[in-house]
Amino acid sequence: MSEYTATVKWLRGEQIFTDNAYSRAHKWIFDGGLSIPASASPRIVPSPMSVAGNVDPEEAFVAALSSCHMLFFLSLAAAGGFVVDAYSDDATGFLEKNDDGRTAMTKVILRPGATYGGVRLPNREKVEILHRDAHELCFIANSVNTIIVTKIIS
């Protein structure tokens, strides 16, 4: 078993709180000391109460799914003897009402693409298998009810 921690910090400062016009800007602090500016999404809480330049939980959710998938893909490619030179994913998450009428991240589309070096290059079928296996192994994907679709770019 492994444990993971994150610290979330927010301060009211001089703001009136009960008018519901307080800033949603806060920080995420991770065990390695990295501090990331976070906020509510400006699509949910309008500016100036949110900070568009900060990471919001919805973006972080999509990024976590994409990152987890990529890390397993890279590991599987390396184990298969394929050299990945570059990888990118323009992932998109959809926040909408689920079947219970609750707002949820109902679907995430991953659009991974990779370039390869070396003498052994994977064919399309092998790339699809690597992505299928990466999805099956991804801890984050295994932890959510969100539909996750992988549309392989290359």
- List % helix, strand, coil for the chain (3-state, nearest 5): 25, 30, 45
State the CATH number of the domain containing residue 94.
3.30.300.20
Q: Do 62 and 43 fall into the same domain?
A: no
92 and 102 in a single domain? The answer is yes
Interacting residues of 81 by C-beta distance below 8 A, sequence separation 6+ = 120
pLDDT value of residue 135: 98
| Residue 56 DSSP label | -
pLDDT of residue 154: 74
Q: Give the count of domains, the chain.
A: 2
Same-domain check for residues 70 and 49: no
**Range of the structural domain that residue 146 is part of:** 57-150
Q: What is the sign, positive or negative, of the torsion defined by CA atoms of 26, 30, 31, 35?
A: negative
Q: Are residues 133 and 93 in the same domain?
A: yes
Specify whether 75 is located in the same domain as 134.
yes
| One pLDDT digit (tens) per residue for the chain, 154 residues | 899 999 999 999 999 999 999 999 999 999 999 999 999 999 999 999 999 999 999 999 999 999 999 999 999 999 999 999 999 999 999 999 999 999 999 999 999 999 999 899 999 999 999 999 999 999 999 999 999 999 999 7
Query: Is residue 121 domain-shared with residue 61, that is, in the same domain?
Result: yes
Same domain membership, residue 48 and residue 88 = no
